[in-house]
Amino acid sequence: MSGDPAGPAAVSSPPPLSLYVHLPWCLSKCPYCDFNSHALRGGAAEPPEARYLDALQADLEAALPAIWGRTVSTVFIGGGTPSLFSPEGIDRLLTMIRTRVRTAPDAEVTMEANPGTFEAQRFAACAQAGVTRLSIGVQSFSDDALRALGRVHDARQARAAIEEAARSFERYNIDLMYALPGQTPEAFGRDLASALAFAPPHLSLYHLTLEPGTPFAQHPPKLPDEDAAADMLALAEEMMGAHGLQRYEVSAWARPRFRCLHNLNYWEFGDYLGIGAGAHGKLSFHDGIVREARLRQPERYMQAALAGGDVLAERRTLTREEIPFEFMLNALRLTEGVPAAMFTERTGLPLAAIERERALAVERGLLDRDRWRLRPTPLGMRFLNDLLELFLK
């Protein structure tokens, strides 16, 4: 474990705790995706569910001493495509968690899902198993755009999946992307109107980016320019507001009471244990803040976990110099920011540690002048990377 010669920052009391579970398989790998996801091979219709759940159980049990006595307030099952797992597998996973970890009675339990007919048929059973919130990776309602993105579903399946989700879940999210290959602001407006017609309680909107190492980065498609992308985002702001969705995070809009509590814990620099292949975690201790990453390859991860070996690819303590940027990188994604006192509560550092950078951000109109709150201005939200760079040591 590495640390600052002056010693890591000490957090007096741990923040709220979440649990992230990574299920890494997909039917196919999308050309824009840089997540730790793996296409099913050899004609397999489903992942090695039982063996992977055994590995998750071993991973969780080995990690228990690090979170002993703490309550998990939210659970997020991400991927990959978690809805490829059977409802019985999801039930086993959630039972495994609840019987080993103190879980809040009203814990939010989110599962990511894709709109394919095969997965949508499982939504109601997953709700019965204990999933309380579904996040559906629609991305677009245009068949041409979906083909360009390498998605395995079509617009008809996307609509059917949302209808199925709305029948089974009060809380659900629609994922959309914008600035897609060949997309115009008008085409994006039609996409967004299709999503808003369902009156979703939550909608996430992501700008398509060319991530290093992906097929799209190696063979870039023709994407809209920055002005067109900015027009799309402005249109999103207008249309979302007209439909009662409030922007609370750089990529997320929600109706009152329907914000994603798991993601809010990330942005408020809460703790989270991550289990599963490639999962990341962040845990606070009396002597420092630790970041962890699990082995990425599913087979290596399962072999290590089932043999009682070390599943960590990395574990290190953040230095005092790294912590302020890590905090601001998360907190400034929120349109309302966070109370200034939260900086000290969650980092163990005094506000003086960011005073110079904070003053400069205020001077440039990127950070609000309210001394009791760390909040980006509308300009700061628009140029978030510029704002964050001021806090990068």
pLDDT for 4: 44
Where in the chain does DSSP place strands (E)?
17-23, 25-26, 38-39, 72-79, 103-113, 133-139, 171-178, 202-207, 246-249, 252-254, 271-275, 280-285, 288-294, 312-317, 338-339, 373-374
Q: How high is the mean pLDDT of the chain?
A: 94
Rounded Cα gap, residues 92 and 129, in angstroms: 8
Amino acid making up residue 330: N
Q: Average of pLDDT values for 46-67?
A: 97
pLDDT for 2: 37
Rounded Cα gap, residues 277 and 299, in angstroms: 9
Q: How far is CA 12 from CA 35, 72, 303, 319, in A?
A: 34, 19, 37, 17
25 beta partners: 38
* Minimum mean pLDDT range among 35-44, 65-74, 103-112, 379-388: 35-44
Concatenated DSSP letters of 285-336: ETTEEEEEEE-SSHHHHHHHHHTT---EEEEEEPPTTHHHHHHHHHHTTBTT
The answer to whether residue 5 scores a pLDDT higher than 50 is no
pLDDT for 159: 96
pLDDT for 44: 65
* Minimum mean pLDDT range among 4-18, 174-188, 195-209, 285-299: 4-18
Residue 41: band (very low, low, confident or very high) from pLDDT cuts 50, 70, 90: confident
Q: For domain 321-393, is the CATH number 1.10.10.10?
A: yes
Q: Are strands 271-275 and 17-23 parallel, antiparallel or unpaired?
A: parallel
112 beta partners: 135
In the chain, % of residues over pLDDT 90: 91
Biggest CA–CA distance in the chain, Å, is 58
The answer to whether residue 314 scores a pLDDT higher than 70 is yes
pLDDT for 116: 82
pLDDT for 10: 66
Question: Any idea which residue has 């907190």 for tokens?
Answer: 331
Residue 42: band (very low, low, confident or very high) from pLDDT cuts 50, 70, 90: low
Q: Are strands 103-113 and 246-249 parallel, antiparallel or unpaired?
A: unpaired
Rounded Cα gap, residues 234 and 382, in angstroms: 10
pLDDT for 319: 95
CATH topology of domain 17-265: TIM Barrel (3.20.20)
Per-residue model confidence as pLDDT tens digits over 163-217: 999 999 999 999 999 999 999 999 999 999 999 999 999 999 999 999 999 999 9
Per-residue model confidence as pLDDT tens digits over 323-347: 999 999 999 999 999 999 999 999 9
- Long-range CB contact pairs, 379-384, < 8 A, 24+: 380/332, 381/250, 381/335, 384/250, 384/332, 384/333
pLDDT for 43: 58
Q: Name the burial class of residue 393, with classes exposed (0-12), middle (13-18) and buried (19+) by CB atoms within 10 angstroms of its CB.
A: exposed
87 contacts: CB under 8 Å, gap ≥ 6: 122, 125, 126, 128, 129
Q: Average of pLDDT values for 72-92?
A: 96
Residue 3: band (very low, low, confident or very high) from pLDDT cuts 50, 70, 90: very low
Residue extents of the structural domains in the chain: 17-265, 321-393
User: Under a CB-based contact definition with an 8 Å cutoff, are residues 72 and 102 in contact?
Assistant: yes
Question: Any idea which residue has 């060949």 for tokens?
Answer: 182
pLDDT for 118: 72
Q: Average of pLDDT values for 360-368?
A: 98
pLDDT for 320: 94
